[in-house]
Amino acid sequence: MEQADRPSILVTGGAGYIGSHAVLALREAGWPVTVIDNLSTGFRFAVPEDVAFYEGDIADSALIAEIAARHHTRAVMHFAGSIVVPESVADPLAYYHNNTAKSRTLIEASVKAGIAHFIFSSTAAVYGMPSVAAVSEDISAAPINPYGWSKLMTEQMLADTAKAHPINFGALRYFNVAGADPQARTGQSTDGATHLIKVALEAALGKRDAVSVFGRDYDTPDGTGVRDYIHVSDLADAHVLTLEALMARPDRSLTMNCGYGRGFSVLEVLDAVDRVAGVSLERQFADRRAGDPGKLICDPSQIRSQLPWTPRHDDLDTIIAHALQWEERLTQIRASG
């Protein structure tokens, strides 16, 4: 199918970290793309100039209807939302408003516009503190913070909506997303980001004095927390494949974990940053943070059985190298105004 004959995909939060990579992946797969972003945490420079862009809010039903009609939108990829766990604890109502209530409005607008497919940016935070290290979708969801609940509530709304209306959905539960576009077209650009690799690279480039390591007494080989890191471009590819799977089978929906199935400790990540960036980071050890499990690794069996997904960047040094390349470019972008 030629791109001109394909329906347009609306990407919410398409000027943000993961959303901007999804835009690139969709275009490379031949899908016409439209982006809506209110730029509260996103950046206009992250969206290619030739992509139709609307600065607006996903809760603006009239705007969603206008976009859907003008661009013949057939599917939504929904990335817009708030993602900082401690912030969700401090201000839960803001998270239930921004992540859950606004998603409800977007889902309703999608149904009214005749949009048939909805891909949702969910999170492994829906699992809370699982009792097993390798987490599958069969594990009962039990969030321990408003961020996780706000995402799980949206998953439930989608499941109920799919039973009542001609729409199917894919809910992708991310583990630790890292890295950047290999061509340095976009990457993690948010000030004050809390992602370990982003923080470590800022320290490597002199933007921070040190890196805090929270907890060194976990039941792990070196005592620090172990996480499953997935390259953001591989994650974006998974979204495109999910879209195509939903289109091929309108009678089914998919809920899938997104990760590689193996983990690295905090110290292993920092050693890799030292290696890739040619630095020696100062580590400042601190107490555990409340609610942090010692080990959290994805069981990717479901996504690998449902999609023809073959990760291209499953290598920690590669993830860090791409993130470093973007961090250096971001410095240049900001210096140029």
Tally Cβ neighbours within 10 Å of residue 100.
19
Placement of tokens 């009962």 in the chain: 140
Three-state DSSP class for residue 300: coil
Q: What is the DSSP letter of 33?
A: E
Angle between helices 232-248 and 17-28 (to 10 degrees): 60
200, amino acid identity: A
Closest to 106 (Cα-Cα) out of 57, 49, 145, 143: 57
CA–CA dist 38, 18 (Å, integer): 15
Cα separation values, 55 from 9, 23, 36, 38, 110, Å: 16, 16, 6, 5, 18
Three-state DSSP class for residue 159: helix
HSE toward the beta carbon, residue 201, CA cutoff 13 A: 28
**DSSP class per residue in 232-296:** HHHHHHHHHHHHHHHHH-TT--EEEEES-S--EEHHHHHHHHHHHHT--PPEEEEPPPTT--SEE
Three-state DSSP class for residue 71: helix
Active site residues: 147
- CB-based burial, 164-191: b 16+ in 10 Å, e otherwise: ebebbbbbbbbbbbbbbbeebbbbbbee
CA–CA dist 38, 223 (Å, integer): 41
- CB-based burial, 223-256: b 16+ in 10 Å, e otherwise: bbbbbbbbbbbbbbbbbbbbbbbbeeeeeebbbb
